[in-house]
Amino acid sequence: MSAFKAVVIEKTDAGQTVGICSFDEADLMDGDVTIRVSHSTLNYKDGLAITGKAPVVRRFPMIPGVDLVGTVEASSNPAFKPGDAVLLNGWGLGETHLGAYAEKVRVKGDWLIPLPQGLTPRQAMAIGTAGYTAMLCLMALERHGLRPERGPAIVTGAVGGVGSVAVALLAKAGWHVIASTGRPGEADYLKNLGAAEILDRSELTGPARPLAKERWAAGVDTVGSTTLANVLSMTKYGGAIAACGLAGGMDLPTTVAPFILRNVALLGVDSVMAPKALRLEAWNRIAHELDHDKLAAMTSTIPLDRVLEAGKDIVEGRIKGRVVVEIG
């Protein structure tokens, strides 16, 4: 098959256009592994790329989609052979390298890991970068020495993809989870994932005090900006917050007070360029530690031709949990 279906973003004088069209295999980028894609997923970054709300895309034309699972069709990389089931998260896919919203991709084999045992392709993409990032956050908190007996854990943006998986993972690990959301109607959804308390995000959106009442020992922040500043000001002595998102903005209007008076740590978590050993550890853990029933409860599935609409929805805060995109 020399031509295949793909979502393609083009740059014009007026901005960018995006649509589903035929793409020629000859125009795929360099790589030593060609993959027939079966599933992808929808992340906030994918929504930004599709809508052009932020400069995610660095080259044009671009096929968006930062996650994929599929089957190797051709490989000159000794680590992979035709028929292997493989998984890819990040590495500039959908930003600088043609991405996953296509029936075929060609990538560097060094970016791939085998599909983890115990996960179906659909489950792997229900987890996707969002769930893999949530596990990286949990691992960062654990490396800092934090355990559930230290106190509660806060999750901001809890109804979103990273937040939903973080709630489930932290609860499974024994944490008393406080789920922060601006969607109070989703309280039952969050409690079913394991949240013990629901916190209205309005409590974290005003100007942050240098130090506020200590409320939690750990946290996963997906929002950034004023929300993260408030979370830090309420973190207990010796606690830490794993920060992995910026849906609320890239600024951080805080002071040094939490860091030097309460010994609070801010742990930055990157999933895009994480080394392979860390990826394998995170995926192995999430395959065994994430409750598959809870994963199913937070997941919906759409075909490729609905991804443009869904991309707008996720940027505008209308998506709950995880969305799997069926490619082929």
- Which residue ranges make up each domain of the chain? 3-115+298-326, 129-268
Mean pLDDT of the chain: 96
Residue whose structure tokens are 């179906």: 120
CA 179 to CA 181: how far, in whole Å? 6
Share of the chain above pLDDT 70, in %: 100
- The predicted pLDDT at position 13 comes to 85
CA distances from 103 to 54, 133, 164 (A): 25, 25, 28
CA 156 to CA 316: how far, in whole Å? 17
Residue 54 has pLDDT above 80, yes or no: yes
Contacts 24+ apart (CB under 8 A), 186-192: 186/159, 186/320, 189/159, 189/297, 189/298, 189/320, 189/321, 190/158, 190/159, 190/164, 192/294, 192/297
- CATH class (in words) of the domain with range 129-268: alpha beta
Residue 15 has pLDDT above 90, yes or no: no
- CATH class (in words) of the domain with range 3-115+298-326: alpha beta
CA 228 to CA 224: how far, in whole Å? 5
Share of the chain above pLDDT 90, in %: 96
Distance of CA 85 to the CA centre of its chain: 21
- The predicted pLDDT at position 2 comes to 86
- The predicted pLDDT at position 14 comes to 82
**Mean pLDDT calculated for residue range 81-94:** 97
Residue 250 has pLDDT above 90, yes or no: yes
Confidence band, pLDDT 50/70/90 cuts, at residue 1: low
